[in-house]
Amino acid sequence: MENSWGTSRTEAFSDGVFAIAITLLILEVNVPETAFDNLWRGIADQWPSYLAYATSFITIGGIWLAHHGIFRRLQYANRRLMVINLALLMAVSFLPFPTKLMAEAIHNNDAERAAVIFYGGTLLVISLLLSALWGSVTLDRHLLRPEVDEKEIKAIALAATPNIGFYVAVIVLAIVAPVVAASGFLLIALVAVLRARGDRSLEPPTTTA
Amino acid sequence: MENSWGTSRTEAFSDGVFAIAITLLILEVNVPETAFDNLWRGIADQWPSYLAYATSFITIGGIWLAHHGIFRRLQYANRRLMVINLALLMAVSFLPFPTKLMAEAIHNNDAERAAVIFYGGTLLVISLLLSALWGSVTLDRHLLRPEVDEKEIKAIALAATPNIGFYVAVIVLAIVAPVVAASGFLLIALVAVLRARGDRSLEPPTTTA
Amino acid sequence: MENSWGTSRTEAFSDGVFAIAITLLILEVNVPETAFDNLWRGIADQWPSYLAYATSFITIGGIWLAHHGIFRRLQYANRRLMVINLALLMAVSFLPFPTKLMAEAIHNNDAERAAVIFYGGTLLVISLLLSALWGSVTLDRHLLRPEVDEKEIKAIALAATPNIGFYVAVIVLAIVAPVVAASGFLLIALVAVLRARGDRSLEPPTTTA
Amino acid sequence: MENSWGTSRTEAFSDGVFAIAITLLILEVNVPETAFDNLWRGIADQWPSYLAYATSFITIGGIWLAHHGIFRRLQYANRRLMVINLALLMAVSFLPFPTKLMAEAIHNNDAERAAVIFYGGTLLVISLLLSALWGSVTLDRHLLRPEVDEKEIKAIALAATPNIGFYVAVIVLAIVAPVVAASGFLLIALVAVLRARGDRSLEPPTTTA
């Protein structure tokens, strides 16, 4: 007899964490009051904050889409899945910290390399945990809903994997060109959202297809 | 075969983001400790914060009502809808930043014009994204529940559109009268809430009508 | 034809706001680093923060219980109810601000009276809006589920009303004895939670009754 | 006739509080700008913050798993359960405060003992309230779903109890070795997550067992 959990409350809890982590990001964006005599410039000078904000927001958005796609294919969860899911949520909740650090450090030659690499490292860990989440499901096929076939299992694994390579490449790039690398993370996030796999693969009604 | 998503988890995630963004707004409202020797005056002096708080709260409340009305009419979502929805959530999550800026800048002649225009610009973007959300649904009618008819589709589009014009007008007004314009945004938000369309159009039981 | 809203997403959104407002309260509790050479005393010196934290937490907890009890008796919501509900959420979201103010001002003779009265005034407004929420339902009985009878309608109205009088009395008390009044708000909150009415009135199985 | 509450909205509200408390923890993690000339060292110097963050995150994660396991076995809740649940949520929401204190105080010889004991005391209270939650259910067996048998009731009680002893032991240890004790809390949290009991005890399909 095995421990198992229904997925609906886990989805609700995970959604809560994703929604909060994504919304807290803006708390760190700030124009110092000294910039108020020329506020348009003050607003413009915060571009590293907007870049960091947009990157983390879209990254978490993409993780949420992928998480949604994974959990909708499950009948229930076992302990290993619950533990990996908690680890994933912990890494996502951690992201506002390196986001803030990167936003502050881009103004600073000494710190920007370290900050961008640390940020990229966090994204890499998130990406590895997301892969591990699906990998763990594929080891326990009885967790899956009966209608999920082999082709779909492989497609989801393929959707999760390439980001790991991209993150490693952009982290290496950050050693020589931190700001370019920061934009690279935004690009990876955008592509992940645009490539996200639905939670169902419905045939649209033939009248509209 | 098309990717699609069930709407219930998207609603839950969106509700989370709306609820958090709306509740974080108060964190920026503050009476400095130097005002504690005359606290009633200190509380009163924060009126720009209350104006900004109320405007953003009611605006997000109206967006939530409209979002609710849109998603309840969907059978499922496609990728374009998910992407526009994420962009809308990103703009709504961003709103606490211009809200804080406007609250601080109204005390300051140099900065208040820029702050109010920047705030209004964010509201305009939110409004455009909400229109785009419904516009995208109307391009893919198979996303709609079968009971949604042509008349209702037009009514919802009409409910979303006028705000765009109002926002442009009030932003122009902000160039000459920033504080008046700030109150204009509050008025637009109030009207949006009062004009919000239900998620169903039920005939009330005839005994009570 | 009347606009109407399903209640489930409104409950979810309201729960989100209540949960966030209740959890944000702790962010304002702080021991200054200057108190670190005698940390036990530093922790003890923060008692006004704990009093304010507990009062606001338990107050919002009681509001949530009452809100839960009201919405579970509804079939659907009309526009007036949605507007009053938004106003209630706005007042609850505002509460962390007077909470913080009261916690800071209790150390300060000049400010504590104003801070406690301002805090009590916010609680009074919340209490009035909660009464208005139920009052609005009783004006539109077709919103109620058919099994809700006259006796229950009156019982819920009676549960909501007395707090209004208590709040007025304690606010008057705050003029002469602010700290005692602050404890009075805690007492009202505790009683409200202990007197909360369930969302159903089930007969327990006779074997256990 | 007894007051009762459906469990689904209580689960949703509790999940919201757990998710927010867990996600707010990161807001207190910070690298001071003075450490930006050697950011890698500045990041490393924050290890007490990471330890505190991980411990509180995993502790709340374990509480959430246990809470999930308890509520899924209920048919409905009575008033005593609602009150204990609110008290548990209040203690969990309080945790970010001692977490922040412990993270700051570990750099400080005077304060670290008090901070770790205060942190451990909060964990002990949370643990006692969780035990009380299940204990209260076992006193009112009619709250349980009919399929929950005596064996399961005892197993859940046994899962909740030992932590209380562990917390007392580690708090005593904190008197002589605060930093070791801080790691002890992390260990207890990890074990609690790994030992968490599922919300169902399903026989996995025999084909995969």
Nearest chain A residue to D60 by CA: give it: A86
- For residue B209, pLDDT beyond 50: no
The 10s digit of each residue's pLDDT in D153-176 is: 888 887 777 788 999 999 999 999
pLDDT value of residue A201: 55
Cβ atoms of C89 and C21 closer than 8 Å: no
Distance from CA of C113 to the nearest CA of B (A): 9
- For residue A206, pLDDT beyond 60: no
- For residue B160, pLDDT beyond 80: no
The 10s digit of each residue's pLDDT in A143-152 is: 999 888 888 8
pLDDT band with cut points at 50, 70 and 90 for residue A8: confident
* Cross-chain Cβ contact D24/A20 below 8 Å: yes
Averaged pLDDT of chain D: 89
**Average pLDDT of the residues in B196-202:** 68
The 10s digit of each residue's pLDDT in A101-139 is: 999 998 788 899 999 999 999 999 999 999 999 999 989
Distance from CA of C25 to the nearest CA of D (A): 8
Chain B CB contacts of C24 below 8 Å: 23-24, 26-27
**Average pLDDT of the residues in D187-200:** 85
**Average pLDDT of the residues in C73-79:** 91
Phi/psi at A77 (nearest 5 deg)?
-120, 145
Q: Which amino acid is at A151?
A: K
Residues 6+ apart with CB under 8 A from A186: A51, A54, A55, A58
Residues 6+ apart with CB under 8 A from C40: D114
Quick check: B45 contacting A, CB < 8 Å?
A: no
Cα-based distances in Å from D131 to C32, D56, D125 = 34, 19, 10
pLDDT value of residue D204: 45
pLDDT value of residue B2: 65
Considering only residues B206 and A10, tell me which one the structure prediction assigns the higher pLDDT.
A10
* Cross-chain Cβ contact C200/D108 below 8 Å: no
Cβ atoms of B55 and B189 closer than 8 Å: yes
Q: What is the spatial distance between Cα B91 and Cα B125, in angstroms, rounded to a whole number?
A: 7
| Range in C31-40, D180-189, D193-202 the model is least confident about | D193-202
Residues 129-168 of A with CB under 8 A from D: 140-142
Q: What is the spatial distance between Cα D128 and Cα D84, in angstroms, rounded to a whole number?
A: 10
- For residue C90, pLDDT beyond 80: yes
Q: What is the spatial distance between Cα A27 and Cα A45, in angstroms, rounded to a whole number?
A: 17
Q: What letter does residue A5 receive in the DSSP assignment?
A: B
Please count the other Cβ atoms lying within 10 Å of the Cβ belonging to residue B14. Answer: 25
* Cross-chain Cβ contact B23/C27 below 8 Å: no
Cα-based distances in Å from D74 to C154, C173, C196, D67, D130 = 29, 43, 20, 11, 15
Cβ atoms of D16 and C19 closer than 8 Å: yes
Q: Tell me which residue has tokens 């562990």.
A: D166
Q: Which amino acid is at C18?
A: F
Cβ atoms of C18 and C60 closer than 8 Å: yes
**Average pLDDT of the residues in B156-174:** 87
Token code pair at residue B90: 């990103």
**Average pLDDT of the residues in B40-48:** 95
| Range in B27-36, B198-207, C86-95, D128-137 the model is least confident about | B198-207
Subunits that touch chain D (at least 3 Cβ pairs < 8 angstroms)? A, C
Cβ atoms of A102 and A57 closer than 8 Å: no
- For residue C134, pLDDT beyond 70: yes
Phi/psi at C202 (nearest 5 deg)?
-80, 140
Q: What is the model's pTM?
A: 0.92
**Average pLDDT of the residues in C140-144:** 89
- For residue B25, pLDDT beyond 90: yes
pLDDT band with cut points at 50, 70 and 90 for residue C208: very low
Residues 6+ apart with CB under 8 A from B149: none
* Cross-chain Cβ contact D23/A27 below 8 Å: no
pLDDT value of residue B153: 86
Q: What letter does residue A142 receive in the DSSP assignment?
A: G
Token code pair at residue A19: 């929604």
- For residue B206, pLDDT beyond 50: no
- For residue D31, pLDDT beyond 70: yes
Averaged pLDDT of chain B: 89
pLDDT band with cut points at 50, 70 and 90 for residue B83: very high
Q: What is the spatial distance between Cα B45 and Cα B106, in angstroms, rounded to a whole number?
A: 11
* Cross-chain Cβ contact D4/C72 below 8 Å: no
Closest CA to D14 of D53, D66, D62, D67: D67
| Percent of chain A's residues with pLDDT above 90 | 68
Averaged pLDDT of chain C: 89
| Range in A166-175, B140-149, D126-135 the model is least confident about | B140-149
pLDDT value of residue A2: 65
pLDDT value of residue A155: 82
Token code pair at residue D92: 């969990």
pLDDT value of residue B200: 65
Quick check: B27 contacting A, CB < 8 Å?
A: yes
Closest CA to B64 of B28, B27, B16, B128: B16
Cα-based distances in Å from B33 to C28, C117, C118 = 14, 18, 16
- For residue A78, pLDDT beyond 50: yes
- For residue D209, pLDDT beyond 60: no
Cβ neighbourhood burial of A86 (10 Å; 0-12, 13-18, 19+):
buried
* Cross-chain Cβ contact A24/B21 below 8 Å: no
Cβ atoms of C92 and B61 closer than 8 Å: no
pLDDT band with cut points at 50, 70 and 90 for residue B205: very low
| Percent of chain B's residues with pLDDT above 90 | 68
pLDDT band with cut points at 50, 70 and 90 for residue D1: very low
| Range in A160-164, B137-141, C27-31, D135-139 the model is least confident about | A160-164
Chain D CB contacts of C29 below 8 Å: 97
pLDDT band with cut points at 50, 70 and 90 for residue A205: very low
- In the three-class reduction of DSSP (H, G, I as helix; E, B as strand; rest coil), residue D96 is classed as helix
Please count the other Cβ atoms lying within 10 Å of the Cβ belonging to residue C150. Answer: 9
- In the three-class reduction of DSSP (H, G, I as helix; E, B as strand; rest coil), residue B100 is classed as helix
Distance from CA of D142 to the nearest CA of A (A): 23
pLDDT value of residue C17: 96
Cβ atoms of D116 and D175 closer than 8 Å: no
| Range in A193-207, C40-54, D33-47 the model is least confident about | A193-207
Please count the other Cβ atoms lying within 10 Å of the Cβ belonging to residue C183. Answer: 13
Please count the other Cβ atoms lying within 10 Å of the Cβ belonging to residue D79. Answer: 18
- For residue D100, pLDDT beyond 70: yes
Largest Cα separation within chain D, whole Å, is 68
